Amino acid sequence: MIVAKRAPAYNFYGNTDTGLTLRWGKTMEENPLRAPWPELADISISNHCTKGCGFCYRGSGDNGSFMPLESYESVLDALTSPVYGSVFQVALGGGEPLEHPAFLDILKATAERGIAANFTTNGELVDRSLAAALDGLVGAAAISTNWMSGYDPRKAVVLADSGIKVNLHFVLSKESLQDAIGLLEGKFNRLLEGVNGVVFLTYKPKGRALAQSCLSMNDSRFKEFISKISLNSCRAKIGFDACFVPLLLRYTSVDADYVDSCECGFFSIYIDELGNASPCSFANDGRYRFNLSAYSMNQIWNNCFEAYREEMLSVKCADEICANAEHCRGKCSFYEQISFCCT
């Protein structure tokens, strides 16, 4: 399905079958500062997970709460504007989405509204029968890990065989750096069958994730990892989360035209299982959390988030030797620990 949205100085085109999206401003050369309505909603459908990953920023456990199907449908309704229609896509997380008893109904409700659904999983419940049930309901899935010895390569193959694009979400911390270097060196290529891309996620110290495991520029292995990005031998594509963008711009030869700054609160929104909306799932600041029972999506997106946007745009890179300073939106204002090249 093709989705097109237009507003003064904002144009969006998306294809829910391929996942291709294009965005431009008044002209193709201009980038809009923000969307008049979110393009993507990152939705935690529970805070329930029985795996207990030590890196989990949500601290999800086996007694976490679920977002009921009816509440999920209300969230999708709230995300539908009379002017711009619905969001283009949802990224379903948690908790563990596959442990949600109504996960398939959630996917069906999403598809009925013409919204593309993606999800992230710890992979534990992935098998052939689940993959068959997901057929046609999911665009892409991401499997999370932080160590390759604990990664089961059969999970990606099973999903890929059902036509689902699979990415590996590799959480990059002090402890996982060695495997991350190995991924760039191609040492784990035999484990990456069925994997479209490896996305390195900057470890954020929240929930069970501890500050002492955050990356540090004083760690020579982190510098080694960065030095291997441009000429990597990984058989899958590699990508990075938005928190990594300042580092890519400052220390690699990556073309700045292919790098997007953080989209949180500008093009995407996060909603947790209790209906709290905030610009980013990692936001650790209650000032930017608004419950959908108290505010309309229009109020949240077009009024409440303005103070957040002003704060984000006021952060400027002060690095005079960075050739890409003009392309960089600067550090994340939520976590000082992951500000590696801006002060």
Closest approach of ligand SAM to the CB of residue 335, in Å: 10
Closest approach of ligand SAM to the CB of residue 171, in Å: 5
Q: How far apart are CA 240 and CA 249, in angstroms?
A: 12
* Minimum CB distance to ligand SAM smaller for 98 or for 226: 98
Amino acid code (one letter) for 207: G
β-pairing, 268-271 vs 165-172, is unpaired
* Minimum CB distance to ligand SAM smaller for 5 or for 206: 206
* Minimum CB distance to ligand SAM smaller for 209 or for 304: 209
Residue 119: φ, ψ to 5°:
-145, 160
- Radius of gyration (Cα) for the chain, nearest Å? 19
Closest approach of ligand SAM to the CB of residue 239, in Å: 12
Closest approach of ligand SAM to the CB of residue 209, in Å: 3
* Minimum CB distance to ligand SAM smaller for 96 or for 179: 96
Nearest to 41 by CA among 205, 275, 206: 275
Q: Reading across the β-sheet that carries 21-24, which strands appear in turn? A: 2-7, 10-15, 21-24
What is the separation of C-alpha 95 from the centre of its chain, rounded to a whole number of angstroms? 15
Dump strand ranges (E) for 156-256: 165-172, 197-202, 237-240
Closest approach of ligand SAM to the CB of residue 65, in Å: 14
User: In which region does residue 95 sit, left (phi positive, over 0), alpha (psi from -120 to 50) or beta (all else)?
Assistant: left
> Can you give the binding site for ligand SAM, defined by CB under 6 A?
49, 55-58, 93-94, 96, 120-122, 142, 144, 169, 171, 201, 203-204, 209
199 CB burial (10 A radius; 0-12, 13-18, 19+): buried
* Minimum CB distance to ligand SAM smaller for 101 or for 114: 101
Cβ contact 209:251 at 8 Å? no
* Minimum CB distance to ligand SAM smaller for 37 or for 179: 179
Output the six-digit token pair for 102.
């109504």
Closest approach of ligand SAM to the CB of residue 167, in Å: 9
Closest approach of ligand SAM to the CB of residue 83, in Å: 31
Residue 149: φ, ψ to 5°:
-70, -25
* Minimum CB distance to ligand SAM smaller for 37 or for 335: 335
* Minimum CB distance to ligand SAM smaller for 201 or for 247: 201
β-pairing, 290-291 vs 10-15, is unpaired
Q: How far apart are CA 297 and CA 291, in angstroms?
A: 10
Cβ contact 113:76 at 8 Å? yes
Closest approach of ligand SAM to the CB of residue 237, in Å: 17
Cβ contact 118:68 at 8 Å? no
What is the separation of C-alpha 229 from the centre of its chain, rounded to a whole number of angstroms? 20
State which H helix or E strand residue 177 sits in: helix 177-185
Closest approach of ligand SAM to the CB of residue 303, in Å: 28
* Minimum CB distance to ligand SAM smaller for 11 or for 176: 176
